[in-house]
């Protein structure tokens, strides 16, 4: 269930607008199909019980934390690239 929930969040690598939506959906389905047989059986907990809601909130928070960490890492790399480009004078090409 966690893999399917994470596939709906926009990951940094393929969340960019230049990647077609069909590729995003196909990749999410492929990851879910590959990971599903490997995962252990889920406990038999009713989804609308307090335990089920707690598990859903836990999985959502894990996914958001992972996405935030990856976003910060890629933002740092992008800022470093922009800074290096500015120092080399390549950033002035974006003005035209």
pLDDT band at 7 (very low <50, low <70, confident <90, very high): low
- Alpha carbon dihedral 4, 10, 12, 14, in 10-degree steps, equals 80
pTM of the complete model: 0.57
Q: How high is the pLDDT of residue 73? A: 92
Q: Which residues form the domain of 50?
A: 2-95
* Of 79 and 86, more confident: 79
Tokens of 82: 């922009």
Q: Into how many domains does the chain fold?
A: 1
The residue-averaged pLDDT of 13-39 equals 83
Q: How high is the pLDDT of residue 63? A: 87
């Amino acid at each position: 269930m966690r893999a399917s929930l994470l596939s709906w969040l926009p990951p940094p690598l393929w969340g960019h607008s230049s990647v077609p939506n069909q590729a995003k959906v196909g990749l999410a389905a492929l990851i879910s199909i590959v990971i599903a047989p490997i995962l252990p059986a889920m406990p038999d907990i009713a989804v609308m019980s307090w335990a089920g809601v707690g598990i859903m909130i836990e999985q959502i928070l894990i996914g958001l934390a992972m996405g935030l960490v990856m976003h910060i890492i890629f933002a740092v790399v992008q800022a470093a690239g922009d800074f290096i480009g500015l120092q080399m004078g390549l950033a002035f090409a974006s003005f035209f």
